[in-house]
Amino acid sequence: MQFLQILIDGFAISSLYGLGAIGFTLIFGVSGVLNLSHGAIMVSAAVVAWAVAGSLNAGPYLGALAGVAASVVIAFATYLLVVRPIQTSRRIPREEKEIFVLTGTLLWGIMLQEAIAYFFTSNPKTVRPLIAGVVNIIGVRTPNQEILTAVLSWLVIGALWLLVNRTRQGKTLLAASINPRGLTLLGFELSSIYLFVWGLYGLLAGIAGVLLGAFLGVSSDNVGTLTASAFSIVVLGGLGSVSGSLLGAYVVGYLETITAYVISPSIRTIPVLLLLVLVVYLRPQGLLGRR
């Protein structure tokens, strides 16, 4: 029975990890930005969903919608207020842009985190589930919300796949990640592509954040851990590779779940960290990464 429990719980948490990490890897792949305010954006989405659904009595659906909307707005703000000024600044040497973007987004994430803690306290919050109830899957009691989390995550990931591979707008994203200069020569405006990808990122991070808030609950103290876990998943799978990130998410999700059930929840993250060290040393480009 425990085996089945691990299988189900691991699947749900891994899908959620995948959804969370996919936006992170998308931004890196297309614009070369490692967004260290990732966790803060996810938590903002969940907290807004919680606040709107709970205190304003708007119901879970409207709450979730507000959470995702907030995440999109914050993602645009991250790009326009922090990332773009650094990228276009002439006073920052090119080879140091990376560390400035890292430091800038890090500071921005701390600001978001502190703002959440100030207005909503840092107590853990659980977003009201979109659907209530529990079903019995071959003897394992599973909340409907957990199934919804996995299903929704995969629907969104599928939609993203269609967007990138089947639409014109999506194909420009792919092209921008491969050769941005070539794309500009063909007459595409890079800045509008970047805006588009940040909007998309906000959508993905927002959905992931709201689902996470309903599944496990969030607090402004989780911000750092969430960013670190997205970073690890993405590096494990290969920076910039979307399918790699999904694989990485499943490896991390299952490894954590197995450790928590079989050994002890207190060392839940340690095997993942050790695996990460091993992979980075032996295969720095990640499981499915290209060099």
Partner 1 sequence: MKAFAIPLLVAALLALLPLGVGGYVLGLLTLAYYFGVFAMSWDLLFGFAGEVNFGPSFLIGLGAYSAGLLNHSFHLPIWICVIAGAFTAVVGGVLLAVPALRLSGPYFGLITLVAVLLLQNAIVLFAGITGGEIGLDIPDIISIDDSTNYWVALGFMTVSGMILFGLSRSSVGLILQASGQDAIQAGALGFNVTKHKLAAFCVSALFSGLAGAMLIFYMGTASPGTVVEIGVGVQVIIAAVLGGRRTILGAALGAIFLIVAGELLRPLGQLSTFVVSAVALLVILFFPGGFLGTALHRGEG
Residues that bind partner 1 (CB under 8 A): 34, 82, 85-86, 89, 91-92, 95-96, 98-100, 102-104, 106-108, 110-111, 114-115, 117-118, 224, 228, 231-232, 235, 239, 266-267, 269-270, 273-274, 276-277, 280-281, 284
CB of 89 to partner 1, least distance (A): 6
Which residue's CB is nearer to partner 1, number 43 or number 214? 43
CB of 165 to partner 1, least distance (A): 26
Which residue's CB is nearer to partner 1, number 14 or number 37? 37
Which residue's CB is nearer to partner 1, number 96 or number 189? 96
CB of 91 to partner 1, least distance (A): 5
CB of 87 to partner 1, least distance (A): 11
CB of 97 to partner 1, least distance (A): 10
CB of 130 to partner 1, least distance (A): 31
Which residue's CB is nearer to partner 1, number 53 or number 260? 260
Which residue's CB is nearer to partner 1, number 241 or number 269? 269
Which residue's CB is nearer to partner 1, number 158 or number 284? 284
CB of 32 to partner 1, least distance (A): 10
Which residue's CB is nearer to partner 1, number 112 or number 193? 112
**Mapped to the 3 state alphabet, what secondary structure does the chain carry?**
CHHHHHHHHHHHHHHHHHHHHHHHHHHHHHHCCCCCCHHHHHHHHHHHHHHHHHCCCCHHHHHHHHHHHHHHHHHHHHHHHHHHHHHHCCCCCHHHHHHHHHHHHHHHHHHHHHHHHHHHCCCCECCCCCCCCEEEECCEEEEHHHHHHHHHHHHHHHHHHHHHHHCHHHHHHHHHHHCHHHHHHCCCCHHHHHHHHHHHHHHHHHHHHHHHHHHCCECHHHHHHHHHHHHHHHHHHCCCCHHHHHHHHHHHHHHHHHHHHHHCHHHCCHHHHHHHHHHHHHCCCCCCCCC
List Cβ neighbours of 64 (8 Å cut-off, separation of 6 or more). 49, 53, 127, 130, 210
